[in-house]
Each structure stands twice: as structure tokens, then as C-alpha cells.
Amino acid sequence: MRVCTVNYSVLRHLWFVIEQTQASVLLGFSDAELIQQLLRQVEQDKLLTGEETNTMKAYIHSRVPLIRDLAHARLA
């Protein structure tokens, strides 16, 4: 089984997108909507293969609680 990884610049861009998105927007989405929205924003700026897109989707899914915690902290 081959493991697909996403390069560092794509991950860095994802976290840039998260930081630039208003906290209220991040908190307003359901988990599925949040994942799709973030993935869509990253794909607008970075060309991803199908495998990279799937890996990125799984990565974002695994980080949803952290993303929401960061958004809550920004509102406080």
C-alpha cells in the first residue's frame, strides 16, 4: 500500500487560509461544509492530484476540532 502525502507548502497554505478566514465563518459551517470549504479554497490556489485531494480531505477532517478551538479562541 502506497501512502500519499501532501507537500509542506500545501499544508502551510491550508493553515494560512484558516487564519485568514473569520472565526465566525469557520464556526458557522457543519463539519462536512467546513472540510469542503477549506478544501475548495486550497484547491483554488494549489493544483492537487486526486490522491492529494483525498489526503488533504482526511487531514482537514482530523483537524476539525483544532480548527474550531482556534476559531473559538479568536472570538474570545
| Per-residue confidence in pLDDT tens, the chain, 76 aa | 455 577 888 899 999 999 999 999 999 999 999 999 999 999 998 888 888 899 999 999 999 999 999 999 999 8
| Residue 3 placed within a domain | no
Sign of the CA dihedral with 20 first, then 26, 31, and 36 last = negative
Contact 15, 67 (CB under 8 A): no
Task: Say how many domains are in the chain.
Answer: 1
| Residue 65 placed within a domain | yes
| Of 55, 72, 64, 57, nearest in space to 30 by CA | 64
| Residue 63 placed within a domain | yes
Domain that holds residue 45: 8-75
| Residue 1 placed within a domain | no
| Residue 48 placed within a domain | yes
| Residue 43 placed within a domain | yes
How many whole angstroms separate alpha carbon 17 and alpha carbon 25?
12
Query: Quick one: which H or E segment has residue 44?
Result: helix 31-45
Contact 34, 64 (CB under 8 A): yes
